[in-house]
């Protein structure tokens, strides 16, 4: 087909190489889907450059490939470095390289694909729970020595439940076992296990809990690495022992449990002692007690004999008699001193009584003297203090007399006693 176009039109519509490249770049880099895209494939080649790591990611059937780059600033943040021949999952964005007219995937993160991704998720969850302290030895509780009620969480159709029942019956007949059934495999298993543990908690009778399952492939035991199950075990109010049938790797449930063993039978054996072992231990304790009592009695008798011998040598009876005589003599001395001081005190008291009697105003009155008081109660000491017609009160040795001043004689010097007539 032949096109006959004017030269002017061709020049007006033709794009430059950079213009076409920019157009393509805008289409790719502004596409919402391509700004953050996950891509899985196999690493076919790698090339370390001073600016970063360049490699090609292709489909396993080699039908398609894409160039990728991880810049040096992003390399330390990768969960896994791209290695030729390995399957990985890439998170990145499409970028166009204008100089060569190529596009490539600018990588932000790389993860292992398949089983490797599961292992990464397991390790990340383990690290997070470890940082929270859920696996610390300090929070581990010891199992009760002689539990009377035990709870078991496992599948009712699993061989593990039968093994646990058989072992508990042989070792500790009469034990009360609470069975809380759960699914222990598949997508529904984590939620089922959590609900089974919650039933045991609500019941409140169990003293210890066994979480168990028989052996299986790694993917079949994934429920015991589920965060919901791990946190349920961590918050359980009673000690937990796990008996999960695998020995290659510990599950997160094993790490958070107070005690973990590798089989359901081992869990049942650890949670209760065997009666035969208890009987043997009891007999050993009885013998040890007899020996201890016998040794204690012998030691006590030896000490008693030693004390008897010391008493014979010391003759304490004579020492006691001497002390009794000393106490009797001291008693006599004390009585004599006390009586002497009592007599002295009595004599002193009598002397004071006599002095007090001589100083008693009433005694003076009884000898014939009188006390003259004015109306205001003041004692009249001189006629100059009195007035004719004034009432006076005379206090005698026995009784009182009320008088009125009729006449007053002024006191005269050198005439002896002073007095008045009333």
Q: Give all strands of the β-sheet with 391-395 in edge-to-edge order.
A: 371-373, 391-395, 400-404
| Number of other residues whose CB lies within 10 A of the CB of residue 372 | 17
Q: Which helix (H) or strand (E) holds 299?
A: helix 275-314
Give me the pLDDT at residue 421, please. 39
Question: pLDDT for 109-168, tens place per residue?
Answer: 888 776 556 666 777 888 899 999 999 999 999 999 889 999 999 999 888 899 999 999
Tokens representing residue 258 in the block: 């107070």
Among residues 130, 169, 266, 141, the alpha carbon closest in space to that of 210 is found at 266
Q: Does domain 8-113 have CATH number 2.40.50.140?
A: yes
- Reply yes or no on whether the pLDDT at 265 is more than 70: yes
Tokens representing residue 118 in the block: 């599961």
- Confidence band of 368 (pLDDT split at 50, 70, 90): low
| CA distance linking residue 87 with residue 398, whole number of Å | 139
| CA distance linking residue 174 with residue 282, whole number of Å | 19
Give me the pLDDT at residue 415, please. 46
Give me the pLDDT at residue 420, please. 40
| CA distance linking residue 1 with residue 329, whole number of Å | 157
Fold of 120-273: Rossmann fold (3.40.50)
Residue 107 · residue 93 · CB < 8 Å: no
* Average pLDDT for 251-262: 92
Question: pLDDT for 86-97, tens place per residue?
Answer: 888 888 988 888
pTM for the model stands at: 0.49
Residue 85 · residue 58 · CB < 8 Å: no
Give me the pLDDT at residue 8, please. 53
- Reply yes or no on whether the pLDDT at 248 is more than 80: no
Residue 193 · residue 223 · CB < 8 Å: yes
- Reply yes or no on whether the pLDDT at 422 is more than 50: no
* Average pLDDT for 50-62: 88
Give me the pLDDT at residue 385, please. 78
- Reply yes or no on whether the pLDDT at 201 is more than 90: yes
Give me the pLDDT at residue 366, please. 65
Give me the pLDDT at residue 176, please. 94
- Residue percentage of the chain with pLDDT more than 90: 32
Mean pLDDT of the chain: 83
| CA distance linking residue 213 with residue 118, whole number of Å | 21
Among residues 125, 137, 152, the alpha carbon closest in space to that of 258 is found at 137
- Reply yes or no on whether the pLDDT at 416 is more than 50: no
Domain range list for the chain: 8-113, 120-273, 361-422
- Reply yes or no on whether the pLDDT at 257 is more than 90: yes
């Amino acid at each position: 087909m032949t096109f006959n176009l004017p030269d002017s039109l061709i020049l007006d519509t033709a794009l430059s190489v950079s213009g076409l490249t920019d157009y393509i770049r805008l289409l790719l880099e502004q596409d919402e889907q391509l700004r953050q895209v996950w891509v899985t494939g196999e690493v076919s080649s790698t090339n370390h450059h001073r600016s970063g790591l360049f490699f090609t990611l292709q489909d396993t059937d080699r039908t398609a490939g894409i160039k990728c780059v991880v810049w040096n600033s992003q390399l330390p943040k990768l969960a896994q470095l791209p290695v030729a021949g390995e399957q990985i999952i890439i998170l990145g964005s499409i970028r166009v390289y204008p100089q060569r007219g190529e596009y490539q995937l600018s990588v932000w993160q790389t993860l292992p694909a398949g089983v490797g991704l599961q292992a990464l998720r397991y390790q990340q969850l383990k690290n997070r729970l470890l940082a929270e302290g859920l696996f610390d030895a300090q929070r581990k509780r010891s199992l009760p020595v002689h539990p009377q009620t035990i709870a078991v969480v496992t599948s009712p159709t699993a061989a593990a439940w039968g093994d646990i029942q058989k072992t508990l019956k042989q070792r500790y007949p009469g034990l009360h076992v609470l069975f809380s059934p759960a699914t222990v495999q598949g997508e529904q298993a984590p939620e089922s296990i959590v609900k089974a543990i919650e039933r045991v908690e609500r019941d409140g009778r169990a003293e210890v809990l066994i979480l168990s399952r028989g052996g299986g492939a790694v993917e079949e035991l994934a429920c015991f690495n589920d965060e919901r199950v791990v946190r349920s075990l961590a918050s359980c109010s009673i000690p937990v022992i796990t008996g999960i049938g695998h020995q290659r790797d510990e599950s997160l449930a094993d790490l958070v449990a107070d005690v973990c063993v590798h089989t359901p039978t081992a869990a049942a054996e650890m949670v209760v002692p065997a009666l035969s072992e208890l009987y043997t231990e009891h007999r050993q304790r009885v013998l040890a007690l007899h020996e201890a009592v016998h040794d204690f009695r012998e030691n006590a008798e030896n000490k008693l004999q030693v004390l008897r011998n010391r008493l014979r040598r010391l003759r304490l009876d004579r020492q006691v008699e001497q002390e009794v005589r000393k106490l009797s003599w001291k008693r006599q001395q004390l009585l004599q001193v006390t009586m002497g001081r009592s007599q002295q005190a009595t004599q002193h008291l009598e002397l004071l009584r006599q002095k007090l009697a001589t100083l008693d105003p009433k005694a003076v009155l009884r000898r014939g003297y009188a006390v003259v008081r004015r109306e205001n109660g003041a004692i009249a000491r001189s006629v100059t203090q009195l007035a004719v017609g004034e009432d006076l009160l005379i206090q005698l040795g026995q009784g009182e007399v009320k008088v009125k001043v009729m006449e007053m004689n002024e006191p005269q010097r050198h005439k002896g006693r002073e007095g008045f007539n009333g």
